Amino acid sequence: MRRLAAALTAGAILALAAAPAAGAAEDPPPDGANDFGCKPSAAHPRPVVLVHGLGATMSANWSYNSPRLADAGYCVFALTYGQRDEQDNPLYQPGGVERMQKSSKELKAFVADVLEATGARKVDIVGHSEGTVMPRYYMERRGGAKFVKRFVALTPLWRGTNPAALADLRDVASGFGVAGPIIDGVSGFCASCPQFLRGSDYMKDLNADGEAIPGIVHTNIATKYDELVQPYTSGLMRDGGTNIVLQDVCPLNLSEHLLVAFDPVVTQMIMNALDPRHATSVTC
């Protein structure tokens, strides 16, 4: 059981270590984001809210896509959510480490502020990794679905993940009655980490109503080289939405879990998903 605890803990640390380097606690927005004086145009009537992944921040995750979306005429907004108390480590505050139910409250408040500032009735969300499954709680359990039109998900994990067989190890531990203490130990520094695992209570709760959210236009962008979402097909919805596997479009593309947020091919796909009437061919 000690080896099992070490494996689960190592998996959580791996997820955090693999995230883009976060900035200081005072995290500035990425270029192009959080101009609360921005008014959506007729061409792009909905603000775009960018939701980062585990261990990242808004500036770390969206430094590539935010300015490009703004240059394309979108009102772009981003937040850093799920940080622990700053006094734990004032120089490094990874985001997304709180339980996703708690983080979804932050997203709810942020979207409300965006709608009030812009006068828009709905937003579009572009999420990466945890930014694909945390917003589900906002939309499905906190009434957010009525405020979202399009949801573009990069490296999503609708059915959870099983990296290094951690979900299998958790299930084995359950048989010995020690899964709870192990999960509590991991949650001490990353409360969201156990929630990502295949078969977690969090995943079961959301998937009890299906994967696609009624009224939301879903676009799911997965990569075969995803080292954190295992298997990568967890990000392909079974009951709705448009599923895109990056290598089905560009067979030689090697972007993995993190690089999709900095890949110009993926940026083209995001643009097409946000404005399908003016979609252009993806250039590999």
Task: Encode pLDDT of 81-129 as tens digits.
Answer: 999 865 455 555 789 999 999 999 999 999 999 999 999 999 999 999 9
Helix and strand tally (H, E) in the chain? 11, 6
Scanning 36-123, the segments in alpha helix (DSSP H) are 58-62, 65-71, 100-118
In the chain, % of residues over pLDDT 90: 72
In terms of pLDDT, which residue wins out, 8 or 48?
48
**Closest by Cα among 162, 172, 226, 225 to 194:** 162
Alpha carbons 245 and 153: distance in angstroms, whole number: 12
Under a CB-based contact definition with an 8 Å cutoff, are residues 128 and 61 in contact?
yes
Q: Where residue 148 falls among pLDDT bands split at 50, 70, 90? A: very high
**Spatial CB neighbours of 7, under 8 Å, sequence gap ≥ 6:** 164, 166, 169
Cα-based torsion angle of the residue sequence 188, 194, 200, 205 in order, rounded to the nearest 10 degrees: 70
Q: pLDDT digit string (tens) for 204-254?
A: 999 998 999 999 999 999 999 999 999 999 999 999 899 999 999 999 999
The tally of CA atoms less than 13 A away on the side-chain side of residue 31 is: 6
pLDDT for the residue 8: 36
Mean pLDDT of the 158-180 span:
52
Structural domains in the chain, sorted by start: 2-20+28-277 (3.40.50.1820)
Alpha carbons 144 and 138: distance in angstroms, whole number: 5
pTM across the whole model: 0.85
In terms of pLDDT, which residue wins out, 101 or 18?
101
